[in-house]
Amino acid sequence: MTSSLVTNIQGYSIHDGPGIRTVVFLKGCSLKCQWCSNPECISPHPEVGFIQKLCTKCGKCAGICPNGALDYQEGKLPHLDQERCDGCGICCEACSYKALVLYGKLMSEEEVFDAVKRDKIFYQASSGGVTVSGGEPLLQPQLVCDVFQKCRQDGIHTCIETSGNAAESALRQVLPYTDYILYDLKHMDSEKHRQYTGKPNELILTNARIAAESGVATLFRMPLVPEINDDEQNIKETADFLHGLGNNALKIELMPYHRYGKSKYESLDRRYLLPDVPYPESEHLESIKKRFESHGIMCTISN
């Protein structure tokens, strides 16, 4: 039996693959994208977040942390020292108002499958299924395979959402049990990719070819971040790369930049790195869409 750290299991999603889906967010990522909206999924270790607006200063967390990472003074908001916190979650259990939240729960493939199969009626009605996301799910390929095998046996459609920045062997291990792939292409310039994500893109592009050649339905996607990857050169190079993958890869979905995850950075006492990047306007998105189409690539925009 395999186990893995799961950050969240979110039902009734319509943006993570075809139909209505349940999304399993695994913890741990090999990239550190500056625009990441799931910072709680980056570290491979459990973490405690403090959501200040939910705190009533009741004092139930006072003195409870075995590592002295939580300092409480009566009538004031507690202070959580992330350096001393080991993610044990004792304080989260004591907090009645969910101001202290544990990011990362160890779950077996049986527990994950039991959670996702409860929504099977929605999958059947919408041609949906289960999507494993993250973080980077290919860092935990055995759990993905075990969950997907159970889904396949139960007639549940399987999808993996990946950056492709993982061992080729992990991708090949998961492919036989995968019905659909959501594959992110963030930047075609390797040095710029390193600048904004922490890693170059050679492995990602190699794995993209493997995914495209596997016969598994694949949708390539681009998180569109103004002033970072929306220039004409990157769009043309992305289009050229997709053409090189064959006729089944001539489509891309744009995912407009947003700041929905900013509060999670605050809960983890981390600095949000792109506070001044503007949201892409609808006119700009349409212009990017037309530029891809002018290069022979079908393009859609995620809501």
Cα–Cα dist 120/13, whole Å: 13
Bin 263: left if φ > 0, else alpha if -120 < ψ < 50, else beta: alpha
**pLDDT average, residue stretch 242-251:** 96
- For residue 126 the two structure tokens come to 């919408």
Contact indicator for 142, 177 with CB cutoff of 8 Å: no
Averaged pLDDT score across all residues of the chain:
97
pLDDT band at 303 (very low <50, low <70, confident <90, very high): confident
Q: Please give the C-alpha separations between residue 137 and each of 1, 4, 128, 134, 162, in angstroms, as whole numbers.
A: 17, 10, 19, 6, 7
Q: Is the dihedral of CA 178, 183, 189, 194 positive or negative?
A: negative
What Cα–Cα distance (Å) separates residue 121 from each residue in 22, 124, 301? 11, 5, 28
The model carries a pTM of 0.95
Amino acid (one-letter) located at 303: N
What is the model's pLDDT at position 207?
98
Tell whether the model's pLDDT for residue 192 goes beyond 80.
yes
Q: Catalogue all structural domains in the chain, each as residue range(s) with its CATH number.
A: 3-44+107-301 (3.20.20.70), 47-103 (3.30.70.20)
First to last CA, the chain: 38
pLDDT class of 237 with cuts at 50, 70, 90 = very high
pLDDT, tens digit, 9 for 90 and up, residues 264-286: 999 999 999 999 999 999 999 99
Q: Is the pLDDT reported for residue 1 higher than 80?
A: no
